[in-house]
Each structure stands twice: as C-alpha cells, then as structure tokens.
Amino acid sequence: MKILEIICHPRLGSFNHSLAVSARDALLALGHVVFFHDLHEEGFEPVLDSSELSRLYSLDNLVQEHSRQLSLADGLIIFHPDWWSQPPAMLKGWVDRVFRQGVAYELEGEDGAEKKWKGLLTGKAGLVFCTSDAEQGEKPGALESLWKDAILGRCGMQAECYVVRDMRGPDPVRRRDWLKFVTETLSRAFPATRSSGTRNQSMSSASLRVPSEIAPS
C-alpha cells in the first residue's frame, strides 16, 4: 500500500514527532510505501491566495506533489497538536490547498444548476492522531468532528480521529502505551503486504486496547 503521512508541529523534539516517526517505521516494516512530509521542515506555504483560488489549481510544486500523492495513496495519516481545539494554521492551510476540487472532491451538475458534492477519496483510510493539554475524561469534541465529518469523511474516507489527552506531564509508561497503540492501530488499518508474510486483515479498531487517555470519537 501507499500511505501519505503528514506531521505538523514546530518542535522537532515533540511527542508528535515521536509518534510520527514510530508510525513511519512501523508502516515501512509492514512493507508499505510511505510519502512522509514534515510541513515545517519543508516550509509548506499554507496561504491559499486569490489567484490560486481562481485558477482551481496550484503552481506550487510542493502542493502539486502532495496532491498527487493524496490521489495515489491508499491511506492518509496526520499527526498534529491541539491548538484552541483546532489544527495548527499551517495544517489548516495544507487542507485548503491540497484537499482541492479535482483531488479530494468534485462538484457535479449542469451549468446554472445547483452542484452536487462528490468525494473523490472513497475507499481510502484516514487516521488522525492529535496531542492535547485537555484533561482526561473530556468528551470528544471539535477536533473529532472536524476531521471525521467535515474533512476526511466528507471526501469519502473511512476516518478516525484519536486525541491523546493530558499532555502536560505524562509519564514514560503512558507514552509507551500511546506509541504501542498507534503502531497497533496502523497494523490493522494497513495490513502487511503479502511479501512480508503477514496475512491481510480488514481495518478495525474493535480488538485494540485503547489507553484511557486516547479518545476515539
């Protein structure tokens, strides 16, 4: 399988990066092709300006590359921090520029008539892992709905969003539990290729033990 992986966090030593690198290594070990992108390291420009909006396509080589890989990929994985119950501005701009018409969705219908939204990412899996300072026990909220319903799900993806809560001072044991949870989730979402000798499995998190601090919506 081909997997597009996005990490958006300004600090290289963040737990987000630890999760992202662990996920990348796990996917490679399963025999998959990983398109790995650190938006800050690449200097991704998040602003969708008026000229690009009018053209309906981008002249930015990086945007073109990410859009092409999103179309090619069997799945998408995103890692980011919770900033004011939203993704960071750079990641929101990435969605604006990469999840564009003709790539993530299409508007169908005759000229002069109301257009019908059609997701173009049907059949792909989308997983988001977010770190947050929110306390344990808080109910799923804005981030889960944003990713599952407003973005990934609306474009046809089979989507899940997991929020890793109470990140002010988690102990090493809990961090290891989260790392293990991410790798186990990925192994079920994106089963090993036949060449790796592992039998394919369907995507399901039902059999996973979810750490109490990780809340899927």
Q: What is the pLDDT of residues 14-68, one digit of tens each?
A: 999 999 999 999 999 999 999 999 999 999 999 999 999 888 889 999 999 999 9
How many CB atoms neighbour CB 140 within 10 A? Answer: 14
Tokens of 151: 């973005």
CB 147 within 8 A of CB 8: no
Q: Which residue has the tokens 């039902």?
A: 206
Cα(208)–Cα(50) distance, rounded to whole angstroms? 45
Give just the sign of the alpha carbon dihedral 26, 7, 157, 65: negative
To the nearest whole percent, how much of the chain has pLDDT over 90? 66
pLDDT digits (tens, 9 = 90+) for 9-20: 999 889 999 999
Residue count of the chain: 217
Reported as type and span, the H/E element at residue 6 is strand 2-7
| pLDDT of res. 213 | 46
Beta bridge partners, 130, equal 80, 163
Q: Which domains does the chain have, with CATH numbers?
A: 2-109+116-216 (3.40.50.360)
Q: Does residue 126 carry a pLDDT above 90?
A: yes
Cβ-Cβ contacts under 8 Å for 192 (sequence gap 6 or more): 30, 31, 198, 199, 200
| pLDDT of res. 109 | 80
